[in-house]
């Protein structure tokens, strides 16, 4: 008999948690699992991908923080699907699926946390703690995320660490093709970032570091791929520092991952993460990476082995690390190759899917 699973997430936009859900839903063996995906707010690119793979997708049209209509729709949908297990992703979905009366009786409930959520307010953390009694398991995409949630009250025996996965490397562009798309020349020394332009990414640190870098390294350029609330302040910062003309802001790009092949070095200066998809993407392409010394980044980068680490918030140290990579082809090649090997051997989709399968079967066997 097929195991029925319902996945619940706020949206199916092109973002990290949404990608991991999609990889998982599409990777579960069809002869073992029947999968239904529910988006609380809206669909998105991953909804199309899931439907093309023959997976049922339902969008509930949530409008407010707590929407009684969405509550009723979600309860009705789960009553129709009759899942053996429901797994949710991100705060809103994690809260909704654990509200009284939502999940069917005897349904196992798994919530998924994707970040060291230091941004959460007191009421959100209180909600998380209050709903622990309705939680059969929590997955965390890094040991750092697991430690954060254990520290705020989630019992450690409920938490299973399942790292993010990446599919095969997208061979969409050559290095020269990617640079042409970005308006860069083959001679440029290019460093870059990809992700949401949000405060926790600490992108002013990167711009300050680049301001120092381009005075030391000839033909230095910076590429920032992505969109977000910090866009205007970042362009203003670059103008004030006199390096705006050397920076490419691409805005949102559906092809962000394959474009990273254009870089000589990738930078992630974040103050908190879960397990960064963009850092993994750059590593998978063999691009040498430089990242802040927060715990989640240290789970991917061993300093001097799979990348370089710099102290959080220290732009001069970031610059020094980039100078090392750009001026030493041997170091760049060593770091890039080791990073690629780490992603290929430790973060495959099959590994991620099989870890979930093991967890599901443990929960369902225990619930019988």
The answer to whether residue 170 sits within a structural domain is no
Give the mean pLDDT of the chain.
94
Q: Are 219 and 336 part of one and the same domain? A: yes
150 part of a folded domain = yes
Residue 31 shares a structural domain with residue 116:
yes
Closest CA to 179 of 238, 271, 263, 265: 263
Examine the domain organization and report whether 294 and 197 are in the same domain. yes
Residues 182, 287, single domain; the answer is yes
- Domain match, 352 and 337 both: no
pLDDT category of residue 368 using cuts at 50, 70 and 90: low
- For residue 209, pLDDT over 80 is answered with yes
Q: In the structure, what pLDDT confidence band is assigned to residue 367 with cuts at 50, 70 and 90?
A: low
Quick one: 353 and 328 in the same domain?
no
Residue 245 clears pLDDT 90, i.e. is over it: yes
CATH number at residue 266: 3.40.50.2000
Whole-prediction pTM: 0.89
Question: In this predicted model, what pLDDT tens digit does every residue of 308-363 receive, in sequence order?
Answer: 999 999 999 999 999 999 999 999 999 999 999 999 999 999 999 999 999 999 99
Residue 24 lies in a domain: yes
Q: Give the domain extent around 88.
A: 3-165+348-367
331 and 186 in a common domain: yes
Q: Is residue 153 part of a domain?
A: yes
Q: Is residue 209 assigned to a domain?
A: yes
329 and 273, same domain (yes or no): yes
pLDDT at 278: 95
pLDDT reported for residue 179: 97
* Predicted local confidence at residue 228, as pLDDT: 93
- The pLDDT tens digits for 129-149 are 999 999 999 999 999 999 999
Q: Dump pLDDT digits (tens) for 37-84.
A: 999 999 999 999 999 999 999 999 999 888 899 999 999 999 999 999
Q: How confident is residue 171, by pLDDT bands cut at 50, 70 and 90?
A: confident
Question: 243 and 199: one domain?
Answer: yes
Domain shared by 65 and 139, yes or no: yes
Give pLDDT tens digits for 296-312.
999 999 999 999 999 99
What pLDDT score was predicted for residue 87? 98
The tens digit of pLDDT for each residue in 258-297 reads 999 999 999 999 998 989 999 999 999 999 999 999 999 9
Confidence of residue 10 (pLDDT cuts 50, 70, 90): very high
Percent of the chain with pLDDT over 90: 89
Domain count, the chain: 2
Residues 91 and 191 placed together within one structural domain of the fold: no
- For 18, residues 6+ apart whose C-beta sits below 8 A from its C-beta are 9, 11, 12, 44, 46, 89
């Amino acid at each position: 008999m097929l195991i029925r699973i319902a996945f619940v997430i706020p949206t199916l936009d092109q973002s990290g948690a949404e990608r991991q859900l999609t990889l998982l839903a599409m990777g579960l063996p069809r002869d073992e699992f029947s999968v239904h995906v529910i988006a609380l707010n809206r669909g998105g690119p991953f909804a199309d991908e899931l439907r093309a793979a023959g997976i049922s997708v339902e969008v509930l049209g949530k409008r407010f923080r707590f929407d009684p209509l969405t509550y009723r729709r979600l309860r009705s949908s789960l009553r129709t699907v009759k899942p053996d297990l429901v797994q949710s992703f991100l705060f809103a979905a994690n809260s909704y699926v654990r509200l009284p009366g939502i999940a069917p009786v005897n349904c196992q409930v798994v919530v998924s946390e994707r970040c060291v959520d230091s941004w959460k307010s007191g009421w959100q953390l209180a909600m998380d703690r209050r709903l622990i009694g309705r939680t059969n398991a929590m997955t965390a995409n890094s040991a750092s995320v697991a430690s954060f949630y254990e520290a705020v009250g989630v019992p450690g025996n409920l938490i299973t660490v399942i790292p993010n996965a990446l599919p095969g490397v997208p061979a969409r562009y050559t290095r020269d093709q990617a640079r042409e798309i970005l308006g860069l020349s083959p001679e440029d020394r290019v460093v870059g970032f990809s992700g949401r332009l949000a405060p926790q990414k600490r992108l002013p640190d990167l711009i300050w570091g680049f301001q120092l870098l381009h005075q030391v390294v000839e033909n230095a350029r910076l590429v920032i791929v992505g969109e977000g609330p910090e866009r205007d302040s970042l362009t203003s910062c670059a103008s004030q520092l006199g390096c705006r003309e050397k920076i490419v802001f691409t805005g949102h790009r559906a092809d962000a991952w394959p474009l990273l092949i254009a870089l000589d070095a990738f930078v992630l200066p974040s103050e908190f993460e879960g397990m960064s998809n963009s850092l993994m993407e750059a590593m998978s392409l063999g691009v040498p990476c430089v990242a802040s010394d927060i715990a989640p980044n240290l789970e991917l980068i061993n300093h001097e082995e799979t990348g370089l680490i710099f102290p959080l918030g220290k732009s001069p140290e970031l610059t020094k690390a980039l100078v090392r990579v750009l001026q030493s082809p041997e170091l760049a090649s060593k770091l890039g190759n080791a990073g690629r090997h780490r992603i290929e051997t430790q973060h495959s989709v099959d590994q991620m899917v099989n870890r979930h399968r093991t967890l599901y079967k443990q929960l369902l066997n225990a619930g019988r």
